[in-house]
Amino acid sequence: MRFGINTFLFTSPFTNASTKLFPKFKKWGFDSVEIAIEDPAHIDPAQVKRELDRHGLVCGSVCAAMGPERDLRGDAKAQKTGLTYMMALLDQMALLDQMVVLDCPSLIGPVYSAVGRADAVLPDEYRKQWATVVKHLKTLSAYAGKRGRHVCLEPLNRFETDFINTCDQGLELIKDVGSPALKLHLDTFHMNIEEKCSADAIRKAGKHLAHFHACGSDHTDWKSIARALKEIRYDGDVVIESFTTDVKVIAKAAAIWRRMEPTRDEIAVKGLKFLRQTLK
C-alpha cells in the first residue's frame, strides 16, 4: 500500500512549474503523487517524470477533470471531447513514441460524466445515458488496456452527480463494460454520504477496487474501513484528496466555504501520519 497526495490541495492547474511541490511531498513522507491534469497541454510528461524520479516519487494516478465540455453522457461534441481528453491522458501516462512517460498505472475519477451534473432524469433517459456511457467506456478501457493501464471510475455523492452514486452502481457499470482494464475507485467522503456502511461497500468492491481516496470527515469510521481494506487485501494507493480555500477555483467547485484546518500543509502532514497509523 502506497500513500499519495492529490495536487488539487495545492494548485490548479498543475503545470511543469508545479513540480516545485515534489520536494515538499517527499519530505513529508508521501510515496506517490496524484496529478490532476486539467489539460494535457499544461505539462511536458517527460519533464514531470524526471522531477518525480529526482525526488524519489512516482505518479500513482492521474486525476481526470470532467467538466460539461467532457461529459460522456452529454451532447455529441462533449462525448467526443471527453473521450479524446482521457485518451490523451492515457498517452501521457504510458507510451509515447515507444518511450515511457509518466509511467502511471491508473486514470481515476468520475470518468463517465461532468462533476456537478445532477439532473434527476426519467428512467428511460437514464437507460439511454447508461448505454452511451457503456459504449464510450468500452472504447476507453480498450485503449487503456493496450497501454497496460487501468481506468478507475469513482462514484460521487448525490450533490455532484445523479449517475453513479454507490459502489453497487459502479460495479454494475463495470460489469456492463466487461473490460479487465476498468476498475473501481472509492472515496471515503462520497461513501460517507451514500453508503449504508463504507466498510461493507469496500468488501463488496473486493478485487475490483483499484484506487482509494481518503478524504477526512469527523463521522468516518476509519477502524472499520481499515479492517475492510485488509480483508480484501487491498494493496493499491491510498490518496489524500482534500481541498482548501487557498485554491480558489477548486474551493468554489468543491463548495469549500470555510477553512477546515489551520493550513493545507497540516491536512497533508497530519493526514499522512493518521493514515499510516490507521491503515498499516
- Return d(Cα 22, Cα 24) in angstroms, integer: 5
- C-alpha closest to that of 149 among 214, 102, 85: 102
Per-residue confidence band for 263, with pLDDT thresholds at 50, 70 and 90: confident
- Domains annotated for the chain, with CATH where assigned, are 2-279 (3.20.20.150)
Name 80's Cβ contacts closer than 8 Å, sequence gap at least 6.
none
- Per-residue pLDDT for 252 more than 60? no
Name 216's Cβ contacts closer than 8 Å, sequence gap at least 6.
188, 242, 260, 267, 271
Which residue has 485503449 as its cell numbers?
143
Of residues 64 and 245, the one with the higher pLDDT is 64
Q: Which of 39-48, 119-128, 158-167, 249-258 has the lowest mean pLDDT?
A: 249-258
Q: Where are the alpha helices (DSSP H) in the chain?
A: 22-28, 45-54, 76-93, 123-146, 167-177, 188-194, 198-205, 222-231, 248-253, 264-279
Average pLDDT rounded to a whole number, residues 17-34: 97
Please give the pLDDT value at position 73.
97
Most distant pair of Cα atoms in the chain: their distance? 52
DSSP 218-277: TT--HHHHHHHHHHTT--SEEEE----TTSHHHHHHTT--S-SSS-HHHHHHHHHHHHHH
Each residue's pLDDT tens digit, 86-133: 999 999 998 666 566 899 999 999 999 999 999 889 999 999 999 999
Each residue's pLDDT tens digit, 152-198: 999 999 999 999 999 999 999 999 999 999 999 999 999 999 999 99
Reported pTM: 0.92
Count of residues in the chain: 280
Each residue's pLDDT tens digit, 51-78: 999 999 999 999 999 999 999 999 999 9
Q: Are 188 and 214 in contact (CB under 8 A)?
A: yes
- Return d(Cα 250, Cα 54) in angstroms, integer: 28
- Per-residue pLDDT for 262 more than 80? no
- Per-residue pLDDT for 229 more than 60? yes
